[in-house]
Amino acid sequence: MAKPAVSQVANATDEEKASVAQLIDNANAALRQFAGADQARVDEIVTAVAWSLYKPENARHLAELSVRDTGIGNVADKIIKNQRKTFGALRDLMRVRTVGVIENDTGHGVIKYGKPVGVVAAITPSTNPAATPVNKSMMALKGANAIVIAPSPAGWGSTNATVELMRGALEKVGAPADLVQILPQPVSRNMTRLLMEQADLIVATGSQNNVRAAYSSGTPAIGVGAGNVPVIIDSNADLTDAAQKICASKTFDNSTSCSSENSLIILDDRYDEAIAALKNAGGYRCSKAERELIHDRLWVDGNLNRDLIAKDADVFAAGVGLDESARHARFFMVEEEFDPQSPFADEKLSLVLTVYRARDFDHAVELVKNILEVQGKGHSCGIHTRNLDHPVRLAEEIDVVRVLVNQAHTFGNGGSFNNALNFTLSMGCGTWGGNSISENLNYKHFINTTHLVTTVAEDKPAEEALFGAYHARYGTD
């Protein structure tokens, strides 16, 4: 690819430039050694990297490091995330071809060959400092690429430990360790941007600032949009099932996932019953005064308070100043009338769930649209219902990539063993969310495709077949 003649990172130091250049050189040298690997060899390498995180003692160790380093989430759920996402991604990757002939459609005279994109720059967030780097590395390696991780500075320690395990796994199977590298500490904005300029592909997960920087770097880039998931509880929903799934999803890893429910929209005729079911599942119904406490302390100068986001429920309740009884809850419900200026309409990265009362289903759809206009357009929404027409309406009317039906959103949105979405930690949100992809990040985004095209029997319809209906209605003028 054509690289920028002059770097946009004008204030980078010589040391920063040399450090990134060395990583790129190392990656390209590793790619030369990797070149020509067949599918079996590629799959062996991907499996080795997957095992480096899935291995129970490693999954636990990295979960503990992640929580210690970032203060975000909880160890038990990060262990599950490390293993479940890795196992599911490996399942998906082992079922596809990515190198050599990947498709042979002789009937149409096309043979497709998969080829590497080159060096991948992977921007990863502090919310998943182990699972996301491994997920992206598996996909990159599946395409016979090299990858350099640019972690959040807060998560560098745990991400570096993850990278060291992946490098050890590569060496164990005789592959170049430099197929997977990490920016050295201290990670700076300059180094991340230099890496983005010099790589062949950027895959950015995390803050929207990082995503915008990736798109403006001059390098082909894939970014993800912001989450802010609204979920409807319909009039005929199984309330107990819905409440249990919402609780499990909302509380998983203390709501660090972009797929975590941020708002519930409950139909008026089941509102009180649904609130009762949510309370039985572990929800705490905040009073108006408690709503004000959360409002004043969860946001500081318009920004989320890092001392309260993604914290255990008892820590959050104590930090906000809620009543002692609230400290035994699992999540916190704040009831609102929709106001686009209210921070409760936005993503909260905490165990706070905004609850809206809808007059009818038309009003519920309107609320979903309004919430996504605040933030989260393109990402996803969900519904708990027995009426199969209502999810269809959401899919037809709402500008999101994913509509989940009767599912725990956090577990279903990024791939599940009981839905057809592929496993990923990076959700594309289409042009609605400012992204180039409108699906879950997957192996297809890490390969180039060469099409070998031969001639077939002529497929040229008659002029009448294509223009006949138009001419019959509008004439030939």
Q: Where are the alpha helices (DSSP H) in 307-398?
A: 313-320, 361-374, 389-397
Domains of the chain, earliest start first = 14-224+441-452 (3.40.605.10), 229-413 (3.40.309.10)
Catalytic residue selected from 258, 286, 381, 429 = 258
Query: CA triplet 332, 254, 135: central angle to 5 degrees?
Result: 145
Q: Which residues contact 72 (CB under 8 A, 6 or more apart)?
A: 66, 126, 127, 254, 256, 309, 310
pLDDT digits (tens, 9 = 90+) for 14-68: 999 999 999 999 999 999 999 999 999 999 999 999 999 999 999 999 999 999 9
Q: Which residues contact 157 (CB under 8 A, 6 or more apart)?
A: 65, 69
**381 annotated active-site:** no
Token digits of residue 71? 């203060």
Residue 10 binned pLDDT confidence (cut-offs 50, 70, 90): confident
Residue with tokens 């060469």: 450
Q: Pairing mode, if any, of strands 221-223 and 201-204?
A: parallel
CA distance 132 to 127: 9
Residue with tokens 């490390």: 82
- CA-nearest of 181, 331, 354 to 244 is 331
pLDDT digits (tens, 9 = 90+) for 318-347: 999 998 999 999 999 999 999 999 999 999
Q: Is 450 helix (H, G, I), strand (E, B) or coil?
A: strand
**Long-range contacts of 37-43, Cβ-Cβ distance < 8 Å, separation of 24 or more:** 37/99, 37/144, 38/99, 38/100, 39/97, 39/98, 39/99, 39/100, 42/98, 42/99, 42/141, 42/142, 42/144, 43/93, 43/94, 43/142
pLDDT digits (tens, 9 = 90+) for 74-86: 999 999 999 999 9
CA distance 132 to 151: 10
- CA-nearest of 17, 52, 258, 61 to 141 is 52
DSSP string, 113-177: EEEE--EEEEE--TTSTTHHHHHHHHHHHHTT-EEEEE--GGGHHHHHHHHHHHHHHHHHTT--G
pLDDT digits (tens, 9 = 90+) for 260-309: 999 999 999 999 999 999 999 999 999 999 999 999 999 999 999 999 99
Could you give the percent of the chain with pLDDT greater than 90? 96
